[in-house]
Structures are given as C-alpha cells and as structure tokens.
Structure 1
Amino acid sequence: MNGLSFDSAQDDRAKTKTMNKNFSFIILTYNEEIHLPRLVNSIKNLNAEIFILDSGSTDKTLEIAKRFNAVVQSNPFVNHPKQWDFALKNFQVSTPWTIGLDADQIVSPELFELLKGFKDEDFADISGIYFNRKNYFQEKWIRFGGYYPIYMLKMFRTGMAYSDLNENMDHRFIPGGKTIIWKKGHLLEENLKENNLAFWKAKHERYSDLIAVEEIEREQKLRTQTLKANLWGNPDEQKTWFKKQWRNLPLGLRPYLYFSYRMIFKMGILDGKTGIRFHYLQGLWFRLLVDKKISELKRNRV
C-alpha cells in the first residue's frame, strides 16, 4: 500500500466474538474503493459496529461495505458539516461512544491497542477524545510546517456531540463536555487519489468556494462562531483563535505570510521536496485562490 502500511490479513475470528459494547464507528464515503478496505481492516478486530454514510458512490464502495457487514445509508453531499449532521441524527448507534472517521484514514496499531483496552466506565467524566493525526501526501509524512501533531476530536459520547453547522468546509464535532487528548497512537491519513495533482487541485477548487462564501458570511454577521476563540483552550478552540486572527489579515498578503510561517518558523523546509510541494499547494496556492474568490465576491456585491 502506498505511503502507509497495515496488516490487512488480520484474524477474521472477530466476526464470531461478541460485538463491542463500548463504541461504534461512523465512516463517510464517496468512491472509496481504494481506501475503505484499508480502513476497515485496521479496525475490524475491535469488533465494533460500522455505519457508513455514502454520498452516491459509483465504484465498488457499497459492495465493499456490504462485505464488511456495515450498516449503510446514502445522503447527497453538500459539505462535511451537513453530512456529519445527517449521520449523527440518522444512524441508530446503541453504544455509549461513537468514533467518526473519514474513509482515507487508518487506525494505527498503537491506536488500535488504546481502543482495544477502552472501557466506558473508565471515562465517566469525559465527553470527547482527541486523536493524534499523521498526514501523508504522495507517500510522504508531513511532519513539519505545523502539520504535526494535529489533534482531532474523533471519539465522543453518542447523543451528546453534534456537528458544527456554523462551519462551511472544515468540520468539527462539539462534544458537549470535558475532553482529553490521546497523544499516543495515531490516525494515519493519506488520500491516495491526491497522488494525481489534477484531482487535488479540482478538490481544492471546490473547497475554496466554500471557504470564500464562509468568510463573506462571517463578515456580514450571517454566520456565527460556535466555539470560543481561546489560544489556551482545547485544540479546536485554539484553531478558532488562529482563524479569527487570519480573517483580520489583508487579503492577498496573508497567504505569503502564512507560507513563510510554515516554511521557516514551523520548519516546513525540512519536509523535503514532496513536503515542500505540499506546503506550497496547501499553504500558498490554495490560500491565494481563496483570497481571489473572496475579492471577486466582494466586487460582485457592489
């Protein structure tokens, strides 16, 4: 497997064991035949129920989901926050905890062990758990440039958490209570389709539309901020603080400031040729595209 590795020949004896009573998985999919087996093979021996929300796959995704006995529903895709909102409201999850994953992610063996030993009663006062993510681009782990560690709230109490619909592109779960961070173990994330730069650019063209509209709506007070911006808060509150500062910077200039910050202060240059290409695309090219579209939207309002 490109970039990441996991033993896909794990023991199938989990099928005959008692179902996991602590947590279930929800996975979003769209044409994920190259990713879904990789993810499910990394979690199947946890013997947890798997729910899949698909958005119109035309490849073998649904066939694969059926093979792994997943509960499947379909919903047209608008954006990630709305898709997660539908998933949380329409799947009948009976376990006290839910883990929400994207199809291009994998549970590492170390994270698998943490989940294997997880018991609900040991986390009675906790509502959400952040996982540590390793992001890969074209087989390269993006270790620098502010891309590691990245903590993502992926595990939360069923029925308490909700999807933040005040976001238009980035999605986050609001857990409704105290959270903790698991620094050990990782979610390994690599979208193999992004090895094709034409795919990557087309995807980020769509993302830039969503972000540009979001920034305009926030400027017009049409979109509020769910989380409190707090530099010293949890990882999502910290991100909210940085995004608030970002929106106050001059359009057209801020992408260059951000790219320089990633490359120099966050040592992105140490990620090598492939990593530098990623930082350029994600930190400069994409941000310039967003700013261009924001400027166009503002001109069209006049």
Structure 2
Amino acid sequence: MKFMRIGDVGAERPAVLDAAGTARDISGIVADIGPDTIETLTERLAGVDLSGLPALAVEGQRIGAPFARPRNIWCIGLNYSDHAAEAGMPVPSEPIIFSKPGSTLCGPTDPILTSPNMSKIDWEVELGIVIGTPALDIAPGTAMDHVFGYVAANDVSERVWQLERGGQWMKGKSYPSFCPCGPWLVTRDEVPDPQALGMELSVNGEVMQTGTTATMIFGVAHIVEYLSRFALLEAGDLIVTGTPPGVGMGKKPPRYLQNGDVVEMSIEGLGAHRSPVRARV
C-alpha cells in the first residue's frame, strides 16, 4: 500500500492509493497516520473495498508528510563509503547515530526554510525507514518484522552549525523544515529489496546526486537491529539512513543552497519531491 496525507498544515486528511492510483480518503477509518495508529493501520484496512471510499483530489493540493510527527527521528551518518570519502572522514566501523527533532518533518513540496544566520545549507537524499512495531534489544534476523515501510527523505543540513560550531551534528540538522518526506509512505511488502533502490537529487535542474541503496555500508535490517540495542524504537519513528555522494560540501568548490533554489529528488518506487528554498518569514 501507498499512504499519503493531503491538505493544509495541521488539517491533512489521511489517504491510501487504490489500484488505479486514486487517493482514497481513509479518515473515516483512522483519524490520521502516525505514532498512535500505524501499528494497526493495515489491519484496519484489511478487507476494505478502497474503490468505495471517497476520492481525494491531489492536483493543486498541498501534499503533507505521509505520516504525522513522529516521536523520534533517528539518523545514520556517513553510511555510504563514497560520501565518507567526499566528506574527508573515515568509513565508520559501526553506524554513526544522531537525531533530528520531529519539528523538522515537512511535506515533499513544502519550502525548505532558511534564516539569515545560515550560510552553508546542504542537501542529502536518503532512504527513510518507518517503524511499525516497537523494537528494543530485538533478536538478529527479526528486524524487518518491525519495519512498516519506507519513504523518500531529504536530510537538510546547515554545515556551519553542524561542523564549525562545536557540539553534536544535531545542531546543524534541527531547523524546522529540515526533513522533507514523501509523497508516499510505501509499505514493506511493496519494496521487496530496499537495498536496490535508485536515488537522485538535483538543484535548479542540475543533477547533484545519483546513487543506489545497494552501496549502503549498513543495510536496513542491520540499522534497525543495531539501533534497538541502544534505544526503544517506537511505532511511527523515522530512521533516515545516509546519503550517497554529491552533497554540496563535497563539490569543488563547495556549493550550497540559496533562497530561490529548487531541490528536486526521488527514490525509486517511493516518489519525488520538489522543494523551494526560501527565507522564513
């Protein structure tokens, strides 16, 4: 199944795509898609004739993040060896973990917001994992049982704040709008091999990143099992899993986002983003 949320900020209606690709309103079955409902979401829809549900217009409507604000957004750093090389950092022997606040989550066409204090705003196309059932100290080999599905995500970063201001990476990852996601949350059964997905990102029509999840250092199952050793992964949590090379700080000379730029990105089977960059009012 492919889930999405359509409507203005704070008034999104949950929807599922039917076999013809029409968005069907499921608000009569579930109030929203998120931490409080995702664990039983597919069960509630089992046996429902989707064609009998109200159709929702998508064209001309805002597409929200495909799930409501998660309790946690977990991030894996330097998870592609060629990205580690362009960053001038060693390939990690274990996953590097950091986090983003839930307030960074936004839709795939929402603006990436900037402030006058920013000077090195960067992009990172990433595969996102959405947790379906809680995971803590899970047994090896059971990780995928806890995965609800996948989403295309952009781990936007302010590199000065991340790398030049001391402290943890989270400082440069936490501004509102710094985690565009969507347009769809695609259930695990529709992505038979999450380690074989093509990914691409462009800025103003110029391709910056191309890659595949096949080159991840730590795959989806390993990441979920590994994180569960250190923290409770809760239903609805998002895990963004690292980016292939081609980020702005790796360009020669470095290139960063400016107000007025448009970031477009896609991951095979998970849909596409088109995010304008603009100053926060």
Q: Same fold (TM over 0.5)?
A: no
- The structure that is strand-richer by fraction is 2
Higher relative contact order (CA 8 A, sep 6+): 2
- The structure that is helix-richer by fraction is 1
> Which has the greater radius of gyration?
1
